Structure 1
Amino acid sequence: MIDKMFYKKLLKSTFSIPAEITFWDGETVRYGDGDPHFKLIFRDVIPKGELIQDPSIAFGEAFMDGIIDVEGDLKEVVASMYRSQESFLGNGKIYAHLLKKISNTAKRSKENVAFHYDIGNDFYKLWLDETMTYSCGYFKNPDDSLKTAQQNKVAHILKKLNLQKGQTLLDIGCGWGELIIAAAKRYGVKATGITLSEEQYERVKERRVEEQLEDLIDVKLMDYRELKNQKFDRVVSVGMLEHVGQEHLPEYFQKVDELLEMGGLSVLHSITSQKEGATNSWIDKYIFPGGYIPSVSELVNHITSNKFFLTDLESLRRHYEKTLDHWAENFENVLDEVKKTKDERFIRMWRLYLHACSASFQTGNIDLSQFIFTKGTNDSIPLTREYMYNEEKCG
């Protein structure tokens, strides 16, 4: 009885829209005015101490274990929690001190990347698009397919890099190689990709042979910090900075400064937050160990502190929401295949991850930012942003 009173008080202010809750004893309670948008079913009690200590992990694990079920749109449930000013889940920042502060050394970074990306190429092939691009797409049109959006994103970044034939390009965190392959084929640049994922490394090696680009593409299985005695005209990083960790952000920009030629240009594509210190302990434990979402102001400060010239900043928040919606739909469509190698707890974990991230972008809890900055002044960049949107002119 005491547990239920605690739950009722907690849930009263959790949702921004009408909701229906069914408790473990069958009692049903409605919150908010109007018809409920979704229904939450508690199969059992979550100890209130766990909810108080860390609501993100308590809620996430309860969903993974089937203690909580959802009837309705899971994304809408999480978005409603984020939108509610009084939600126990929306105030996750106050629990940030509970996260273990473990430095992302080169060894630990490799372990963290393997934890997420080395689940297996076969798994990612099931629900990513054919390009195997695992980052925010770019939807020129609302009805663009996922593959088109990912190809648009690569083209958009390559335009921002203002590539010229014969230049050298470094991709820090190259994934399965789509960007460096496109850069070599379209612009005739010599592209080097770096990854910590053995699965990605092997696939990029295969692709450079398949595309007959061995003379233009190199790929290395290493930590970017270990790259020595090389300079590049362009440095790009897509969806990698989130794995660096807050204390290593200065090191990242110092390394980019070391790797860039004077007058060189870098494009940084990263998930960002509005405020410094954004954390989610469930994501840290189950999805991206050692991850950290930097704030826009943090990154601008690091860019300018290293005497880089910031020339452009663009938000792609709504594009990442659409990307995640595509991934979530694809994931549900291939569940029969996923179930051959993954158990129900893993499936529920991945379902929550995809829908919760989409909700987070939808509500502005997190953003996706693309920065362009140069080492020294660079007057070869066109005077207006028109070059980013014109049809590609390959070198």
Structure 2
Amino acid sequence: MERLLSQVLGRLVRHGSLTVIFASGARAVFGDGTGEPLVVRFTSEAWQRQIVLDPELKFGEAYMEGGLVIEEGDMAGVLALLMAHVGLGTVPSTSAKLLMKLRFAFRRLAQFNHRARAQKNVAHHYDLDGRLYSLFLDADRQYSCAYFEHPGQSLDDAQLAKKRHIAAKLKFDKPDLTALDIGCGWGGMGLYLAGNAGAKVTGVTLSQEQHGVARCRAEERGLADRADFRLQDYRDVPGPFDRIVSVGMFEHVGIGHYDEYFGKVAQLLKDDGVALIHSIGRSEGPGITNPWIAKYIFPGGYIPALSEVLPAIERAGLFVTDIEILRLHYAETLKAWRERFLAHREEVERLYDQRFVRMFEFYLASSEMAFRHQGMMIFQVQLAKREGVVPLTRSYIAEGEAALKRMEKESRPGLRLAGE
């Protein structure tokens, strides 16, 4: 199996500098010697065999369990090297190709997210110790792609820009418009709309941890009368609403539930309403959820291609009034999260253990490299129930952002001395 793994890596890695120390002690060097030198070591022949047979699942597991050790460089560098080559004429092993076909055939079953299962899937990831997320997210706990307006923008400013960009697209041109936030997280988007866009917000989540934090934040900011956060499935929400927003939740719906999802959006949206769906998407057509991500990070999740989403929107009777693709914004967001996470790895280890640290590092690094090298992107789809609801040109978005930026400055609390 060592020989087979060496052959696979020899065909795969054409550029860069990767040294592999096999469990037998033998060393092999792959690539053309350019770039950062990377050295990895296998601790057993069993892990070598498993990676050859099922690389998508077992590579991450090997790193989690200590079967693959990074001797020089880091996991982000190793994944960047490998994922930049995957798909460039490479051919996976016969067993890996068979597993991919089987996973595609059964993907609807894996994503059958009825209410009880959806709640369990959400709890798996979002009901982790709240201190974990405070270590690597921005101050507002935005756990979705930021919007970098210019190179070098801080994560906090880019996340604020994301909320502003979405709010401008939703066009809050009247006071007290009602808004539904599907998958409201820790409440950041809803509180922004309530505090800066004058909206009356209903936010729903299936995470008990997020629900509790969101309600507390609304109370602390004096917005509890304008931002109502509920522990509720979006399928059970009564309407209608003037505006509907969903940021980073659609990835958890599952491909078999797209008609149900957009049917509910259509039911809840007023005739002159506007909706905005912000989701991760894949550029290369329908696929499968990475099995490691499905097992350890987001069970029941799936990143869709637009070709899978748009037909469901059409069947729901909704108009697509705008689509924007954000390409490397999430790669930069994930890089910032990964760097912050690793800067606090000792604190994370105290919350959990070394295995969890390696698991989460692998999740952040592999996700970042998927956006850099494997066609992942963000799409923002604006929806309406009739023509003429939004202006003919997109200039209103920039105008709306400018107005919201002025509102942010006016609503920002002034500095006070201690004790005042």
Q: What is the TM-score of this pair, normalised by structure 2?
A: 0.88
* Aligned counterpart, 2:387: 377
Rounded Cα–Cα distance in structure 2 between residues aligned with 1:136 and 1:21: 34
Paired residue type of 1:324: L
Paired residue type of 1:79: A
- 8 A Cα contact 1:307 1:376, kept in partner: no
* Aligned counterpart, 1:32: 31
The within-5 A match list for 1:1-395 is 3-18=1-16, 19-35=18-34, 37=36, 38-46=38-46, 50-51=50-51, 53-70=53-70, 71-84=72-85, 85=87, 86=90, 88=92, 93-94=100-101, 96-97=103-104, 101-102=109-110, 103-164=112-173, 165-228=175-238, 230-274=239-283, 275-379=285-389, 381-390=390-399, 391-393=401-403
Partner of 1:329, secondary structure, is helix
Rounded Cα–Cα distance in structure 1 between residues aligned with 2:31 and 2:378: 32
CA displacement 1:53-107 (0-9 Å, x = unmatched): 5321111110101111222242232233223231649978445248672421101
Rounded Cα–Cα distance in structure 2 between residues aligned with 1:307 and 1:214: 34
Query: 1:280 and 1:95, CA in 2 relative to 1: closer, same or farther beyond 3 A?
Result: farther
**What number of residue pairs does the alignment pair up?**
391
Deviation at 1:383, TM superposition (A): 2.5
RMSD value over aligned CA atoms? 2.0
Deviates more, 1:138-147 or 1:381-390: 381-390
Deviation at 1:393, TM superposition (A): 2.3
Percent of pairs with identical residues: 38
Rounded Cα–Cα distance in structure 1 between residues aligned with 2:139 and 2:382: 28
Deviation at 1:215, TM superposition (A): 1.7
Rounded Cα–Cα distance in structure 1 between residues aligned with 2:151 and 2:33: 31
Deviation at 1:112, TM superposition (A): 0.3
Rounded Cα–Cα distance in structure 2 between residues aligned with 1:355 and 1:376: 42
- 8 A Cα contact 1:176 1:201, kept in partner: yes
Deviates more, 1:339-348 or 1:281-290: 339-348
- 8 A Cα contact 2:242 2:270, kept in partner: yes
Partner of 1:128, secondary structure, is coil
Rounded Cα–Cα distance in structure 2 between residues aligned with 1:46 and 1:258: 53
Paired residue type of 1:55: P
- 8 A Cα contact 2:319 2:385, kept in partner: yes
Provide structure 2 residue ranges, at least 5 long, that are not aligned to the other structure.
408-420
CA displacement 1:6-30 (0-9 Å, x = unmatched): 2112221233423221111221111
Deviates more, 1:50-59 or 1:151-160: 50-59
Deviation at 1:278, TM superposition (A): 3.0
Query: 1:372 and 1:269, CA in 2 relative to 1: closer, same or farther beyond 3 A?
Result: same
- 8 A Cα contact 1:16 1:80, kept in partner: no
Query: 1:392 and 1:36, CA in 2 relative to 1: closer, same or farther beyond 3 A?
Result: closer
- 8 A Cα contact 2:155 2:333, kept in partner: yes
Query: 1:376 and 1:53, CA in 2 relative to 1: closer, same or farther beyond 3 A?
Result: farther
Query: 1:162 and 1:36, CA in 2 relative to 1: closer, same or farther beyond 3 A?
Result: closer
Rounded Cα–Cα distance in structure 1 between residues aligned with 2:6 and 2:342: 32
Deviates more, 1:8-17 or 1:113-122: 8-17
Query: 1:47 and 1:340, CA in 2 relative to 1: closer, same or farther beyond 3 A?
Result: closer
- 8 A Cα contact 2:79 2:369, kept in partner: yes
Provide structure 1 residue ranges, at least 5 long, that are not aligned to the other structure.
none
Partner of 1:298, secondary structure, is helix
Paired residue type of 1:13: R
CA displacement 1:97-133 (0-9 Å, x = unmatched): 4867242110100000000000021111111111011
Q: What is the TM-score of this pair, normalised by structure 1?
A: 0.94
